[in-house]
Amino acid sequence: MKLKWNYSDLNHPMARAKGLGSAHGGLHHWNAQRLTAITNIPLFLWALWSGMTLAAANGADYETVQAFFAQPCNAILMILFLISVFYHMKLGLQVVIEDYIHGNGLKIICLIALNALSVALAVLSIFSVAKMAFF
């Protein structure tokens, strides 16, 4: 089986490079992944502190957690944390799918499923925080 990047004496050198170059989307993806990684650090530390604080409060029953998220600052920080984590997860898994799944049809199906799953999990999580904060 001849691969498109194999060199042949009959092909022009440009034929070897065609289709293997940049799609001009990598820099944005790389920047977004680094930005979410940086924002995850303080947000994760806040979430860890929050969890430890709630756990120390007599097991953190539902009313205690609801009172914690009723404070706007805590609800907003948790929602920002969830958005950042799920977007970072989507970006990382997208790279894995693009690199290791070689069939175009299966790759597209996996990317669509990844997008749907990450959005669904993010919306469900944000709704849970909003429900505790506002209801």
Digit-coded pLDDT (tens) for 28-73: 888 999 999 999 999 999 999 998 988 887 677 888 889 889 999 9
What's the predicted TM-score (pTM) here? 0.78
Q: How many domains does the chain have?
A: 1
Q: Taking residues 69-82, report their average pLDDT.
A: 95
- 57 is in which domain, residue-wise? 25-134
- Of 91, 82, 87, 88, nearest to 46 (Cα)? 82
What are 2-12's pLDDT values in tens digits?
Answer: 555 555 566 66
Does any domain span residue 8? no
Higher pLDDT, 87 or 65: 87
Q: How confident is the model at residue 16 (pLDDT cuts 50, 70, 90)?
A: low
Output the pLDDT for position 58.
66
Does any domain span residue 9? no
What CATH number has the domain bearing residue 53? 1.20.1300.10
